[in-house]
Structure formats: C-alpha cells, structure tokens
Structure 1
Amino acid sequence: MATFVLVHGGGHGGWCYKPVAQRLRALGHEVHTPSLSGLADRAHLMSAAITLDTHIADIAGLLEFEDMAGVILVGHSYGGMVITGAADRKPERVGHRVYLDAAYPRDGESLYEHAYDAIHAARQGLHDIDGVQLVMAPMPGMAAFFGVTDPVLGPWTDARLTAQPWQCFEQKLMLRQETAMRAIPESHLICTSTISGRDMDLLTQRSEGRVWDIDTGHDLMLTEPDWVATRLDAIARL
C-alpha cells in the first residue's frame, strides 16, 4: 500500500481531508494530513515570518523526519505551490505529485501571479492583526466560496477555516532542483468549472494523460470524497 501526504489549500487545514483520509486508510494506505504553520490547529503559531517557504519547509521536514520514500504528495489549491516546492526540495522522497484542483506554478511565479483574478479578489480583504497581514478572514457562509453548500457540511467547514498570511500568496516559488522535480510522475484531479483557466495540453502532456475532472465545487475533497479517494487509490496502484 502507498503512503500519502495530503496538503491543504489556503485558509484550510489538515481537517479538510478527513473524509478522504478515512477512505484511504480503510483501503490500507498510510495517510498524513498536516496543517501548515499558522493555520487550523497550528493557528497559534501565526507570525509575520510565515511565507510560502515556511510551508514548503513544513512538508519537506515531514518527509525527512518521518523518513518517507516514494510518497504520493497531494496538494489542493494553494497546496499546489507547496507540494511543487516540497518535491523540489526532497525529490528523492517523492514518488508521485497529485494536483487537486491546484496551482501548477512555474519557477519564479507567485500564487498571486499564477491565479491573479481569484487572489486579487481575496486581496481586497487584506487586514492586519498583531502585525501580520492576513487575507481570507473566515465568516459565516464562506464555505460556499469554496463550493461547499451542503447545509451540514457548510457550517462545519465555516467553523474550521482560518485566515491566511498574505505573504504566502505573494512570495515567488524559487525552484532549486526543477529537473529532478519534473521527472517525478504527476496527475491532476480538476473541477470541471476551472478547466477554462488551465493549459490542459500542458497538463496532459506532463502527466502522460493522467488528468480527470469532476463537476463539483473547488473543495472537491469535501464535496466528492468517494471520487477523490477512488482516484488517489488508482494512482497508488499504477
């Protein structure tokens, strides 16, 4: 069976993978769902020093200290920036990269540049708390922004969202071992509604055709956990 590290997106935490992780573990896989520094159960670590590099170091450190090898590294949304950086830092420990409706950055690109329309809209809510510039302040009904509209799941999600340090979106991803990182197999699970903003030819070429889409909200790991877990299990069996 495979080892998965599931990396969440902006404003989320490891909690968002609970339904998918339960399904993967039931299939016999080892699953890690870390929360990135300053978010969710690690919100008490919030500081002005947190950047994209911090979050890359979070995941690269987990791979190193848990002595993992052949890991299937999954990133959702902003998490695509993080897993690209972590696979670049520790290519010898990663066996597959999976982009879950995620950012797919180039070297030297920030998420702000990569997904300008969405991130610029979020930037309008920029605010300062204790010297930290934050965006995506949680509020009732915010889960709907991520496509979670179920009357039970929506409030559950709202109660767990946390604000994101703006620097994470603004800092450019600087790759160190891009050739080795790109050589790691990759797959893409995409929400149908976001396909128009992607270079599907590039994704199909680089993933050797491993691109699947589903018509659901951006938080597909919450809205369609069976589909996501089934695809991840299939990737593990390649």
Structure 2
Amino acid sequence: MTAFILVAGAHTGGWVWREVAAGLRDAGARAYEVTLSGMDGGGGAERPGVDLETHIEELVRLIDRVEERDVVLVGHCYGIHPVRGAADRRSERISRIVNVDVGIPEDGDPALKLVPDQTDRERVLSLAQKDSAGTLSAPSVEEWQRWGSVAGLPAEALARLTEQAVPQPLPTLTQPLRLSGAVAALPTTGVLCTANGSSIAVVETMVALGDPAFQALADPGVTFFELDTGHWPMLSAPRELVDVLLRAAAGKGHRVAAVRQQPTHLRPFLMDVEERPRERTGRVDLHLPDADGPRPAVVLVHGGPVPAGARPTPRDWPAFVGYAQYAASLGAVGVTVDHRLHELTAYGRAADDIAEAIELVRADPRVDGDRVALWFLSAGGLLAADWLAAPPSWLRCVAASYPILAPLPGWGLADGRFRPVAAVRGAGRLPIVLTRVGLERPEIAVTVEEFVSAAADCGAAIEVIDVPLGHHGFETIDPTDESRDAVRRAMRSVLGHLGAGTD
C-alpha cells in the first residue's frame, strides 16, 4: 500500500485535501492530510517559534510513524518547502516527491522566493522587519488571484478557501530551506496547472535554453503531468488530481528529453540574409547597413525569462541575428540587446536595460535618432507597455511577433505597469505591426486577442499579419513560404513607417 502525505500551501491546512484524500483511499491507498502548526486557525500562528523548521520536524515525525513502505510526499505551494526539507532528512523512506503547481526550491531558498506576487513579497519583508515572528494575514476573496490562478475554482470553493484561510507565520516564509543534498536523488513529479501559466512546453523550453540549473528536469526520474485548471487543483479538479497522484506514484508521466539535437531557438533563421557588419558595445549589438549618413534603427527585444547562465545569449540566437541582419540589408540599423530578464521578477530591470540601450543607439552618429522602431518578441511583449502608454516623438513604430501582451496567470505582475493590453489606449496613431501565429499556446493567444480588441476599441493604428500554421518562434521552427512571407511583410511595414528604403 502506498501512503500519500498531503501538505497544503500558505494559509491553508489539511482540509483542502479532503476530496483528494477520499479518492486516494477509495483507490486503496493511505492518505494523510497534514495541517501544520499554526495553520489550524486555533491561534497557533500567533505562538512564537513556528517557522519552516517547525513544519519540517513535524513532517519528519509523521514519516517516522507511517508504516507503509512506499511514502509519497505531496507539496502544494508553500507546502513543497517542508516537504523537501523532510524528504532530505528521511530520503530512505520516500519513494517520490510530487510538486503540485510549484517550483523546486533549493538549499538556501526561503519560501518567499516562490511567492508569485511582488507586492506580497515586499509586504512580507516589510512585516518581518517590524516583527519577525508575526503573521501575514489571510487573503480576501479578491486577493487569492495574486497567489495563483483561480480558474476552474467554483464560487463556493473560493468562498470556503477564504472563510477557512488562516494567517501565515512569517518565519515559515522567510527562513531559508536547508538541504544536505539527499533529496536531489529522489524521483520527482511535477503537476503543472496550465491555467496558471505552467506547462510541459514551458519546461521543455527552459531545458532547451541550456542553463545547467534546469538540466535536472530532464533526469529520467523526473516526470510531469498537466492539469487544465488553476492553482488549486485539489479544489477545482480533485478527481483528476487523484488520478495524476496515483499514476505519479507508479512512475508514470511525461519525461522531458535531454537536449541531444539542436534546440529550436538555435536552428537557422528561415531566410538567407546578406551578411552585414556587426559591432558590439556592452549588451548592445549594431548590425550596420551599407549606406551613408544616419539611418533609422530597428531595436529587437527578446523575451524570457532567459536564465543568466544560458549560452549563447539571445542576441546571438539565429532569429534575432536574422531579423537584425535583414533590417541592415534593407538600409536600417538592426539592433539586438541582451537585457536581464532572468526571472519574472526582473521586468523592471529589463525595462531599464532596454531604455539604456535605446539611448546608446540614438546617440550613435550612424543612427537617425528621430527614426526608431521597437520590435518585441514573445514575453518581451510586456516591455512594450511603457512605449505604448506614452510614445516619444522619435518612436515611429512598435512591432510585436507572437507576443505575450498581458501577464500570464501566476506571473505575479500585479502593479499594472507591464500590461500592453491596457497601455495601447495611450498609443494614439503610433503604427503597431503585430505578427500573430495560428498555433499559439492558448494562454498566450488570449492576451493577443485581448490586445487586438483593445486596439480596435481605441482606434489604434494596428496592422495584423497572420501566420495560420505558425508556431511560437516560427522563424526557426516553420521554414515555410508562408512564414517567410510574414517576415518580409512585417519588416517592410516597419521600415516603411521609418521611411527606410526596402529594395
């Protein structure tokens, strides 16, 4: 018999697992719904000394009492921290760890690192400075969305989540997780909730980027499942989650292949482009046309997050080099930039990098600083918001290819700054050239359609170029005549708005 130890996330207790535990028992397994100290609503959260270590020790004692040979530890949200801490100390007893819609914390990581919303992270740090042993108040009905997508959650379940939620002891969020390394050898399964922005495709993309930190996700002992729901599948899809947990315990699930062939983002650009000179200054590369006098510039902005250790960096990826060289071959200065969007919390830093790069480009004597276009790709699309909201006079066009145009669920960007869907209202008659792919991931496609609708409502000057059979990143995935035609149309449109020759 397999024993499942179910550990809930922040502000909740074992009660959230009630339906899942019942389903596991019906299937012949043993289930333990854990309510950790301070999470029962009985005032324990106010008791000094409740921290992450308290919760780890409680799980260790429970593991020691469990008689079943196969023990599967299941952690949701905050719960993965005490789960990994306890598994590290009792690795010989654990057959598998299951991460339910949450990342994998490492040694030294506080639970606060995985809190998606930056406002909540700052609030926790502020409260901890005033009273390190205090608590974080439970979310209101409207605030749960900041902790993860509530998609699929029935109204009565959301109401129950709110009514039974309790304050979270601050030390459980701020105390670093300490691991010996034993937990790293344990089989692991990730349950990815697609409505919260995670998916197997995202995992495969991160592995393909080549950062050593993500290569462990391609280990044969790591499996993945997807659930088409939000961040609380134990409440929104309990039967489906029961099935996934049973299959995970049996070693089933999707395995991400190690990258043995050339990853898609490093495949050749879909067009043969005349090679032009290229100059590098700091994080900025200029691809120069064969022309006299100052020329207009096209600044290409990559997406992400791209891990800091990924090599080559985006400005050397074939798609970006291809676009920049193509612009240069048609008489404009093509610009590629390595901005520092290394994690979702770094959009502000990336925006600063782009602004700095633009200043450098406009100051170059070979560039006509009054004729600049910005071209955003993928998740770099969110960085278009500042420029759409208040376009400067020198900005002659904004282009976007398969962009993300509103933060995806679970990204925690609650301050409203990086939301092109809203910012487009300030664009006026600024030309916008949008390349839309027909085989886009659904969660991204929704943001594109919202943007197109918002642009139409406010009378923005938007041109949409469709690639019906194109995938996200089609320039290196779909080398078809349809794709090449879309790239040509987009480039000629952008350069036309810059007044550059396109012969």
TM bin, normalised by shorter chain, reads 0.7 to 0.9
Q: Distance in 1 between matches of 2:140 and 2:178?
A: 33
- Report the equivalent of 1:134: 135
Residue 187 of structure 2, aligned match among 173, 185, 188: 185
- Report the equivalent of 2:117: 118
Partner AA of 1:105 in structure 2: P
Distance of aligned partners of 1:173 and 1:119 in 2 relative to their CA distance in 1, 3 Å threshold: farther
CA contact (8 A) 1:144 1:154 kept: no
CA contact (8 A) 1:20 1:225 kept: yes
- Report the equivalent of 2:82: 82
Distance of aligned partners of 1:228 and 1:84 in 2 relative to their CA distance in 1, 3 Å threshold: same
**Counterpart secondary structure, 1:18:** helix
CA contact (8 A) 2:52 2:173 kept: yes
Distance of aligned partners of 1:136 and 1:118 in 2 relative to their CA distance in 1, 3 Å threshold: farther
Is 1:152 aligned with 2:145?
no
Residue 169 of structure 1, aligned match among 169, 173, 176: 173
Deviations 1:29-63 (A, max 9, x none): 00001101100255446422111111111111111
Give TM-score scaled by structure 2 length.
Answer: 0.43
- Report the equivalent of 2:20: 20
Q: Distance in 2 between matches of 1:65 and 1:46?
A: 28
- Report the equivalent of 1:215: 228
Q: Distance in 2 between matches of 1:25 and 1:157?
A: 23
Deviations 1:121-157 (A, max 9, x none): 25427659x9841114243455555444422212122
Deviations 1:166-200 (A, max 9, x none): 11111111112x1x321111110011233288785
Note the aligned Cα RMSD (angstroms): 2.7
**Counterpart secondary structure, 1:216:** coil
Partner AA of 1:181 in structure 2: V
Q: Distance in 2 between matches of 1:131 and 1:82?
A: 19
Q: Distance in 1 between matches of 2:241 and 2:45?
A: 30
CA contact (8 A) 1:7 1:76 kept: yes
Is 1:236 aligned with 2:249?
yes
Partner AA of 2:37 in structure 1: S
How far apart are residue 97 of structure 1 and its match?
0.5
Partner AA of 1:230 in structure 2: D
Instruction: Tell me how many residue pairs correspond in the alignment.
Output: 235
Distance of aligned partners of 1:141 and 1:119 in 2 relative to their CA distance in 1, 3 Å threshold: same
CA contact (8 A) 1:38 1:46 kept: yes
- Report the equivalent of 1:105: 105
Q: Distance in 2 between matches of 1:61 and 1:93?
A: 12
Distance of aligned partners of 1:44 and 1:173 in 2 relative to their CA distance in 1, 3 Å threshold: closer
- Report the equivalent of 2:468: none
Distance of aligned partners of 1:210 and 1:233 in 2 relative to their CA distance in 1, 3 Å threshold: same
Q: Distance in 2 between matches of 1:155 and 1:166?
A: 24
Partner AA of 1:2 in structure 2: T
**Counterpart secondary structure, 2:106:** coil
CA contact (8 A) 1:122 1:135 kept: no
Structure number with greater Rg is 2
Partner AA of 2:79 in structure 1: G
- Report the equivalent of 1:4: 4
Partner AA of 1:59 in structure 2: L
Distance of aligned partners of 1:52 and 1:131 in 2 relative to their CA distance in 1, 3 Å threshold: closer
Partner AA of 2:175 in structure 1: Q
Q: Distance in 1 between matches of 2:78 and 2:45?
A: 19
Give TM-score scaled by structure 1 length.
Answer: 0.86
CA contact (8 A) 2:41 2:166 kept: no
How far apart are residue 205 of structure 1 and its match?
1.3
Partner AA of 1:173 in structure 2: L
CA contact (8 A) 2:45 2:135 kept: no
Segments of structure 2 that go 5 or more residues without pairing to the other structure are 208-213, 252-503
**Counterpart secondary structure, 1:210:** strand
Q: Distance in 2 between matches of 1:45 and 1:166?
A: 9
Deviations 1:53-78 (A, max 9, x none): 11111111111133454200000011
Segments of structure 1 that go 5 or more residues without pairing to the other structure are none
CA contact (8 A) 2:57 2:86 kept: yes
Distance of aligned partners of 1:116 and 1:26 in 2 relative to their CA distance in 1, 3 Å threshold: closer
